[in-house]
Amino acid sequence: MGLSIRDPAVGALARELARLRGTNMTEAIAHALTAELKRERDKRPLEERLEDLANETLAMAKPGGHVMTKEEIDALWGQ
């Protein structure tokens, strides 16, 4: 099946990607579409990603930490 790019801007993008990758337009477009499909399939809701980050942060925390005072926080910000 042939692919015809009729939009000059899209053609320019495909040529630039092929040039940067040192490949032809067909390979550049195939790689870009494969990568974009993977990104879409792997998409997770923001809530899930934030929950994972929070859990990772909690796992790194050491017990017996210090609760900072407002004055200590202001000092860190140079206030």
Segment 22-62, tens digit of pLDDT: 999 999 999 999 999 999 999 999 999 999 999 999 888 87
Give the per-residue pLDDT at 30: 96
Length of the chain: 79
Q: What is the pTM of this model?
A: 0.56
Confidence of residue 1 (pLDDT cuts 50, 70, 90): confident
